[in-house]
Structure 1
Amino acid sequence: MAVAVCAEDACEVPKNDMDIVKPIRDRLADRVGHERFDLWFGPNVQLRYANATLYVQAPDTFTVERLRRQMRGEIVAATEDVLGSGVSVAFEVRESAASPTSTSDHTPADHTPASEPQTPPVDSQQTPNTSTVASMPRVAIGTGGPQLAAPSPASAAAQAGKRDLNNFVVGECNRLAWTAARQVPQRLGVVSPVFLHGPTGSGKTHLLEGITTATRRLPGRKRIVNLSAERFTSYFLEALKGSGLPSFRRKYRDVDLLLIDDVQFFVGKRATLVELQHTMDAMLRQGNQIVLTADRPPAELRGLGLEITARMTGGLVCNIDPADEATRLGILQQVAMQRGVDASDDVLQMIAGQLHGDARQLVGALNRLQAASEALEQPITLPMAESALTDIFQATRRVVRLADINEAVSELFQLEPDALQSNRKARTIAQPRMLAMWLARDLTRAAYSEIGEFFGDRTHSTVISAKNKVNRWIQDETAIQLATGTYSVKEVVRRVQVKLRRG
């Protein structure tokens, strides 16, 4: 990916590759800090200079994409500090048996690993899953178009309804989280911790189970613990009451792979948080792998403490959103095939378009159709499906109110609940207020005058002005400051919409 443009002073840079690369690496270490530099730019990442271009090379597409997303700005800045603005920066997979792959801002690397060799299901030492439907695929959604990746060929595990990484329905929007999960077993401890966050039913537990299964299939015996945060807390408190702390610590620290689901459960549990921090420190020092999930990003898990949050964000954080329509259709098609539900694509498309919830809801709809078809002794047609699912469709249509938008925006910007309805004109209040007005017009049927009245007795022309201004922000890709960092307007809108879907 070309990041910089050519400049007149490019011909003045040294021609020797090492004379250029070493100062850039040194400058990069100064910019990001030496500990962070060692984490991101270890021996697997190489810099190469040729033809007025700095090539950042890594052994696989996952690492290339991670560097491009997280470190591009720092690399460009360090390069410009040393060479001026006349050098381009490109990211590519280092040549091996496979052809190298370059990535760019506009064309992210797309890497779909080959299916893992199929082996009989292994004994899993996991805690029971919170889902009541064992065969239900979980889908993770991130950014990208509504493209749906074809599922892997049905494996023995998939046929049995066992959740692994091969029967996870992949769309463009969940590809990063899925790719990260695929890389974990092959590169234990290289990127740790991996933190996956998204709403209930978005695929987090499926990915944890898939990572566990894939790791157990590897040669050699791996020590793996996969459990929920609630179970971790319960076991710790039991050990604390008795004399089992040494045994507890051996069990959860002396492992190759530790996976903990729903870490938001730890919020406010001080003793458990201290133990978790020491557990993470011990594992990271040993170079072992940690994978965590939560229903929100680490920065929004207030109550965990800065020390824990810093550790959670020190590896790779992957966002998971609710499934888009294309991915919901993929889930329905897969489950229908697994269960032998004879429903046409028209029926499945209708369900995918009507239900915007998680995978559990989709599976519940298929269960209803199958039961209705058997009870009525009728095939599943479009009219029959519409009739059988009417109450489910009606129950899932959530009406967004102005108060809901006010609450979601205030929470995201960490403002007092009445701040957006006040007369305060500070930028930290005015900007979120304009965004809330824009969302109100986009997500509700409220008139301009009603929106203005709700947000501090403002006129309808003020609301129109706010709407136009936010449209310009979106067009210009304006950045907005949140308490957790600076984000594009589109990303802020997406986060508010996720909060509104959660209710």
Structure 2
Amino acid sequence: MQNTCTTVWNNSLQTIKANIPNQSYRTWFEPISALKLEGNVLTVQVPSLFFYEWLEEHYVGLLRKTVKQQLGEEGRLEYNIIVDKSSNSGSPYTTKMPSNGNAAASNPQSPAVPSAAAGKDIRNPFVIPGAKRMNVDPQLNSNYTLENYVEGDCNRLARSAGFAVAAKPGATSFNPLMIYGAVGLGKTHLAQAIGNEIKRTHPEKLVIFVSCEKFCQQFVESLKNNTINDFVNFYQAMDVIIMDDVHNFAGKEKTQDIFFHIFNHLHQSGKQIIITSDKAPKDLSGLEERLLSRFKWGLSADLQIPDLETRIAILKKKMYADGIDLPSEVVEYVAHNIDNNIRELEGAMVSLLAQSTLNKKDIDLPLAKSMLKNFIKNTSKEVSMDFIQKLVCEYFEVPVNLVNSPTRKREVVQARQISMYLSKSMTKSSLKSIGAYHGGRDHSTVIYACQTVNDLMGTDKKFKGYVNDIQKKLQMN
């Protein structure tokens, strides 16, 4: 049967999926679609030039090998790249590139638009009424930088997009850039870090960071003072606007309407828009459909709960910045037990250091457990799948990457099934999320694993001893 482009690409994806972490696969390969197959040349479409560059930098070897497996030694991969998503364009601009590491793309730039602030006296809503007018303060926290924003699988796409936007604000397909995720995962940090990087590399740019709540208050004030034109002109004069927590627009129809017009003006003028939210655009409620549709124009990048390694890296980064040193077992203990969000993780570390300073004692593991007992009890009601999987793998001396791989070796399958069973019984995670965490498997695999472990515990005393021993170790931590 003759191969089709979809068949070849789907077969390639199976190989790719087995060789990289599941999060990386979802981030960088699921958005790709197969377009055509001509002879030994497979053409796929990627969402942006940045996407293409990332693939060529990090996965070019794997892609070449995989495509050659499907199409033979002469097999080649070409990209169809959406370079520009302009609001007034009938169809996306595309270009084709071979996967040879030497390709270059032309990215049509938006025409230069003079800043509306130049030569114009516009009232700044950030200035207290009656006070002397001043240059635009970007309202950014200088402590938030891309360098001190620790990268992990949980945030790699958003952080990488941030670098791209900071390098060419308004000139990438990531406009708007929407960063979304639960409370305490670093949305505001990342958004402000992008703003700070833009100010560092493009000092001439007018950048403003504003919370949605503050924007709404300013709008109400402008209505009261009959200065609505000044309010609109100020924001339309910006080169970069960073709006934090846009989910707070819910139910505020007039404010949504004014932001809709500001958004359109900035986007059509080639200015950069960065927004944060606690949910993806499709899950936001109380917002007008026309505004939601614009949020979807660019890139929506989610921030997830960081894995154990990333949490440890965050703590070590904070320790380095504060000029302190703690035993590795203390750092690992905190990272193991506090996995709700980054804010609570750093809060626990601050609390620990404060207690150490007040008591004038060095922090060791017993003291850390004693000091953080109540904090951890309130913030970490369940062990994490990450911790369960790591402990199971250590117990059976099986590498974590093998547990998440397709291998069917008996000792690996046993560790995988016990890890799934304990994740089901000791966390609130869904079957789907447990399966996804264990190498991208489906919920039926998790059900089968739990049933197998239950059956073996009822018939094999040695096996039951293994499971009980691991459960005790988990409960002790």
Q: Kindly tell me: are residues 66 and 228 of structure 1, through their superposed partners in 2, closer, same or farther at Cα, counting changes over 3 Å?
A: farther
2:261 to 278, 284, 291: 278
Which residue pairs with 1:196 in the alignment? 179
Partner Cα distance (1:175, 1:469) in 2: 24
Query: Does 2:378 correspond to 1:395?
Result: yes
Which residue pairs with 2:152 in the alignment? 171
Please report the RMSD computed on the Cα atoms of aligned residues, expressed in angstroms. Answer: 4.0
Deviations 1:58-102 (A, max 9, x none): 9954355699xxxxxxxxxxxxxxxxxxx9754499889x94499
Which residue pairs with 1:62 in the alignment? 51
3-state SS in 2 of match to 1:166: coil
Deviations 1:124-148 (A, max 9, x none): 834477xxxxxxxxxxxxxxxxxxx
Which residue pairs with 1:229 in the alignment? 212
Deviations 1:386-410 (A, max 9, x none): 111111111113369xxxxxxxxxx
Q: Kindly tell me: are residues 55 and 364 of structure 1, through their superposed partners in 2, closer, same or farther at Cα, counting changes over 3 Å?
A: closer
Q: How does 1:49-88 map to 2 (within 5 A)?
A: 51-54=40-43, 60-63=49-52
Give the AA of the match of 2:137.
Q
Which residue pairs with 2:302 in the alignment? 319
Deviations 1:374-431 (A, max 9, x none): 233221111111111111111113369xxxxxxxxxxxxxxxxxxxxxxxxxxxxxxx
Q: How does 1:281-320 map to 2 (within 5 A)?
A: 281-320=264-303
Contact 1:64 1:92 in 2 (8 A): no
Q: Kindly tell me: are residues 347 and 57 of structure 1, through their superposed partners in 2, closer, same or farther at Cα, counting changes over 3 Å?
A: closer
Alpha-carbon distance, 1:251 to partner: 1.0
Partner Cα distance (1:266, 1:163) in 2: 25
Partner Cα distance (2:103, 2:242) in 1: 31
Give the AA of the match of 2:149.
F
Residues paired across the two proteins, number: 308
3-state SS in 1 of match to 2:154: helix
Which residue pairs with 2:221 in the alignment? 238
Contact 2:140 2:196 in 1 (8 A): no
Give the AA of the match of 1:53.
L
Alpha-carbon distance, 1:163 to partner: 1.3
Contact 2:79 2:97 in 1 (8 A): no
Partner Cα distance (2:422, 2:350) in 1: 37
TM-score for both structures, normalised by structure 2: 0.57
Q: Kindly tell me: are residues 399 and 342 of structure 1, through their superposed partners in 2, closer, same or farther at Cα, counting changes over 3 Å?
A: closer
2:335 to 336, 352, 362: 352
Give the AA of the match of 1:296.
K
Q: Kindly tell me: are residues 445 and 169 of structure 1, through their superposed partners in 2, closer, same or farther at Cα, counting changes over 3 Å?
A: closer
2:359 to 351, 372, 376: 376
3-state SS in 2 of match to 1:342: coil
Contact 1:92 1:101 in 2 (8 A): no
Give the AA of the match of 1:470.
H
Partner Cα distance (1:382, 1:124) in 2: 48
Query: Does 2:249 correspond to 1:266?
Result: yes
Give the AA of the match of 2:41.
A
Contact 1:124 1:213 in 2 (8 A): no
Which residue pairs with 1:125 in the alignment? 137
Alpha-carbon distance, 1:444 to partner: 5.1
Contact 2:139 2:208 in 1 (8 A): no
Which residue pairs with 1:212 in the alignment? 195
Give the AA of the match of 2:370.
S
Q: Kindly tell me: are residues 445 and 398 of structure 1, through their superposed partners in 2, closer, same or farther at Cα, counting changes over 3 Å?
A: closer
Contact 2:222 2:231 in 1 (8 A): yes
Deviations 1:191-242 (A, max 9, x none): 2111110011111111111111111122451011111001111111111112
Give the AA of the match of 1:254.
A
Alpha-carbon distance, 1:333 to partner: 0.5
Partner Cα distance (2:179, 2:202) in 1: 26
Which residue pairs with 2:443 in the alignment? 470
Contact 1:259 1:291 in 2 (8 A): yes
Structure 2 residue runs of 5 or longer lacking an equivalent are 10-31, 57-74, 82-95, 105-134, 384-419, 428-440, 449-477
Alpha-carbon distance, 1:277 to partner: 0.9
Give the AA of the match of 2:317.
Q
Deviations 1:283-329 (A, max 9, x none): 11112111100011111111102111111011111111122211111
Contact 1:342 1:380 in 2 (8 A): no
Q: How does 1:18-97 map to 2 (within 5 A)?
A: 51-54=40-43, 60-63=49-52, 90-91=78-79
Contact 1:283 1:289 in 2 (8 A): yes
TM-score for both structures, normalised by structure 1: 0.54
Partner Cα distance (1:331, 1:268) in 2: 37
Partner Cα distance (1:88, 1:48) in 2: 10
Partner Cα distance (1:278, 1:248) in 2: 12
Deviations 1:97-119 (A, max 9, x none): x94499xxxxxxxxxxxxxxxxx
3-state SS in 1 of match to 2:210: strand
Partner Cα distance (2:294, 2:55) in 1: 18
Give the AA of the match of 1:208.
A
3-state SS in 2 of match to 1:243: coil
Alpha-carbon distance, 1:57 to partner: 8.5
Q: Kindly tell me: are residues 388 and 100 of structure 1, through their superposed partners in 2, closer, same or farther at Cα, counting changes over 3 Å?
A: farther
Give the AA of the match of 1:276.
F
